[in-house]
Amino acid sequence: MSETEQNQVESNLFPRVRIVLVETTHPGNIGATARAMKNMGLYKLVLVSPHLFPSEKAIWRSASAADVVEGAQVVSSLEEALEGCQLVIGTSARERRIPWPMLEPKSCGEKVFKTQAAGKEVAIVFGREAHGLKNEELQMCHFHVNIPTGKAYSSLNLGMAVQVLTYEILQASIAATDQSDQASQEDDAWDMDYATSDALEHFFVHLESTLVETGFHDPENPRQLMTRLRRMFNRIRMDEMEVNILRGFLTSINHLKAKKPE
Ligand code: SAH
């Protein structure tokens, strides 16, 4: 292990928390994000199809966090970026049409801290400078977080938004150290591991195809059915066993349909 890598391992306070930036336009914002992260003890940066990367501008804006920029993982889809995550939080500057379970920045910091302290992988997802996150990307998240702002201008610079939310994670960890080891209480209380986001995605695909197969769901006229079902299942945060049970149930319906053609 090189000296830089060794330093990272020692300074990385939250190795299971990844910051995901989706289709960032300005490489300067990648650098600003890296700096904001390292300032708060985070190192794991994942970039989904950045417009311009690697880039000198990103390194320059990161100041002494060039190691975070250089260590960033570049992937081509959000699904890939979220692989293995058991808690996914999406950020949004606006109210959306279908309300989603929301967190305040402070409660977001606490939730992220507790979840990673219990050994789970966590992602916080940030959107494009001009358009934020798409609805289907927000629908891949368990919770949404909005940073309260003045009425006239609700959209923060990307790096600044990362700063606020990562600050709250560090704050939560400082508060938890003060309260000794209550940290992992919430997630440890559960007897099973929570389902990963990839397992959930497979489940949603299976659910949708089964709903189509039974004739309940018309893909030509989808309305908000899958959105509402996703919201419901994300709200209850299924564990691995629950997903397996539902997948088994869907398979039994698939078999029944296969046996009894209309
Ligand atoms: N015009 C876009 C804003 C994009 S700002 C929109 O209306 O959605 C770029 C990114 O910074 C956002 O996708 C989000 O990840 C983050 N961000 C900016 N302001 C935020 C706020 N008030 N709360 C939470 N995240 C915010």
CA gyration radius for the chain? 20
Residues 141, 21 share a domain: yes
Number of independent structural domains in the chain: 2
The answer, yes or no, to whether any atom of ligand 1 lies below 6 A from the CB of 146, is yes
Cβ neighbors of 219 (< 8 A, separation 6 or more) are 212
Enter the tokens of residue 81. Answer: 């970026």
What average pLDDT does range 139-161 have in this prediction? 96
Task: Please report the pLDDT score of residue 7 as a whole number.
Answer: 75
Residues 155, 82 share a domain: yes
Pocket test residue of 46, 156, 162 for ligand 1, highest count of atoms within 8 A of CB: 156
Cβ neighbors of 149 (< 8 A, separation 6 or more) are 93, 155, 156
What average pLDDT does range 185-190 have in this prediction? 67
Residue 185 located in a structural domain: no
The answer, yes or no, to whether any atom of ligand 1 lies below 6 A from the CB of 91, is yes
Q: Whose CA is nearest to atom 26 of ligand 1?
A: 93
Full residue range of the structural domain in which residue 96 is found: 3-178
262 pLDDT tier (thresholds 50, 70, 90): low
Residues 248, 119 share a domain: no
DSSP code of 48? E
pLDDT above 70: percentage of residues in the chain: 95
140 pLDDT tier (thresholds 50, 70, 90): very high
185 pLDDT tier (thresholds 50, 70, 90): low
